[in-house]
Amino acid sequence: MHYLTDRKRAEGKGASGSGTEHFWGQAISAVGLLILMPLFALTFGSALGLPYEEAVAYYHRPFPAIIAAMTLVTAMVHFRHGIQVVIEDYSRGVTKKALVILSTALAYTTLAVGLYGLARIAF
């Protein structure tokens, strides 16, 4: 028999049962974006306005390609966590479930297309 206090049973269980996980996922990805976005702006800005052949050659180098990939992955994870929190706050029932599924699919589709395009350029 387990003797747990009410506080111990409720610990980590927000209104949806997963609020803390979303908060920490959002916070960690925000810190990652804080570091990655200036790096991405510098690397992407260097390739901006270059002729096609030179831009492709620029992204053949590992550093710009890795920074672009890391920024894309982190941004889509951040988007997924953020939009899910907003949907859970403002929607109910089947609409909420459908919107969460749709936004998650959008995030992962964008991530897949972006990484595929980057891989085609980089390799």
* Residue percentage of the chain with pLDDT more than 90: 76
- Write the pLDDT tens digit of every residue in 6-41: 777 766 665 556 667 778 889 999 999 999 999 999
- Write the pLDDT tens digit of every residue in 108-120: 999 999 999 999 9
The one-character DSSP state at 117 is: H
Which pLDDT does position 37 carry in this prediction?
Answer: 97
Q: Give me the half-sphere count of Cα atoms (radius 13 Å) on the Cβ side of residue 27.
A: 6
With respect to residue 10, please indicate whether it lies within any of the assigned structural domains: no
With respect to residue 28, please indicate whether it lies within any of the assigned structural domains: yes
For 2, phi and psi rounded to 5 degrees? -100, 135
With respect to residue 85, please indicate whether it lies within any of the assigned structural domains: yes
At 32, which helix (H) or strand (E)?
A: helix 19-47
Work out the average pLDDT over 33-59.
Answer: 95
With respect to residue 46, please indicate whether it lies within any of the assigned structural domains: yes
Which range of residues forms the domain containing residue 88? 19-122
With respect to residue 57, please indicate whether it lies within any of the assigned structural domains: yes
With respect to residue 9, please indicate whether it lies within any of the assigned structural domains: no
Task: Please count the structural domains in the chain.
Answer: 1
> For residues 113 and 5, which has the higher predicted lDDT (pLDDT)?
113
Q: Would you mind telling me the total number of residues written for the chain in this entry?
A: 123
With respect to residue 13, please indicate whether it lies within any of the assigned structural domains: no
Work out the average pLDDT over 64-72.
Answer: 97
Q: Which two tokens stand for residue 51?
A: 């002729």
With respect to residue 27, please indicate whether it lies within any of the assigned structural domains: yes
